[in-house]
Structure 1
Amino acid sequence: MSARPEQREDRRKDPVDAIVDQWAAVRPDLDTRAMEVFGRIFRLSRSMGDRMEKAYAPFGISRGEFDVLATLRRSGEPYTLSPRQLSATLMLTTGGMTGRLDKLERAGLLRRSPDPHDRRGLQVTLTEKGLDLIDRAVGAGLAVQSAGLSALDDEQVGRLADLLRELLAGTPGADH
């Protein structure tokens, strides 16, 4: 098997191609296809992460804070989850979650209250202010994400989503 199939001449080169070309020059025995895929995924993730931070900044929240509010919003009425449920969904430690909850509660975007079903537990509930903010922020974030896909047509976006779903399902530990 060839280390790297020849690129079509009409395909634009990107920084990942330059890295792969350098490896091919010094280690032609390496199969760098995984590097081509994951190098681009990592670069896209970093770029989109930065763009998402900028999209949420006008709302006074970070991406991490957006994730907390969005998780509560997606849970449906009454937009209430336990800190443990939030931590599990967001793959955060309870300490990391506490800091986010403190900031969001101070901003009036959520409230913590005793869990009526567990005297030792708490519930976290989205406030009306938080509901309004997350509904606006999710729209702003989706606009940025949609713009990030503008180089692809609808069919390509669907194929990419399907391929990434398959890749995620086949990657141990990545399906949370």
Structure 2
Amino acid sequence: MKPINAITLSGFTLTAIAIYVLGYFPFIPAWPIFITWACFFHMDGGINKNQAFFATLRHICLGAFASWMSALAVMNNPFSGAIADQLWAPVLIAAAIALLMRLSTVIQFSVTPAIIYGYALIWAFLSVPGLFDQEILLSLTFKNAIIAIVFSVLLGACAGYMNAMMVNFLCNLKLRKLP
């Protein structure tokens, strides 16, 4: 099968299965799965699926963890006053993003966009009303952003890996012509 056909068929099939199965687990956010799945291929998952799997997890989970820590720090502003209250979150988040970007000098964290995807995933999750709460952020439930997002990221990396395997299988499949 031609690669474009294999990619199309496997993408369609696995996406349909993922969306169907996720319907039974509404506490698992779907969008981080698909963002991670796409990131897997951005990390050369179609060429080296093993390397891409671990690189994707390493980058996105670093960003997610930094974001989760930032959220906890935002809630525990050590400064008082109107200006300090308004500046604390923007300055803290900007510093965290700058530090994450600086990590691009370390080969294991050289794909800055993937790290920022992880950072953004946590804040997107926390934008759901009621979830930006310290008690929830420290709980061992799927309402905790770090638990829900990291679990979804793991599922997304697995989906990317399965997608790469399926594409490889379909491209190497030899079909016999019927007499």
TM-based fold match above 0.5: no
How does the TM-score come out when normalised to structure 2?
0.28
Question: Which has the bigger relative contact order, CA under 8 A and spacing at least 6?
Answer: 2
Q: Which has the higher helix share?
A: 2
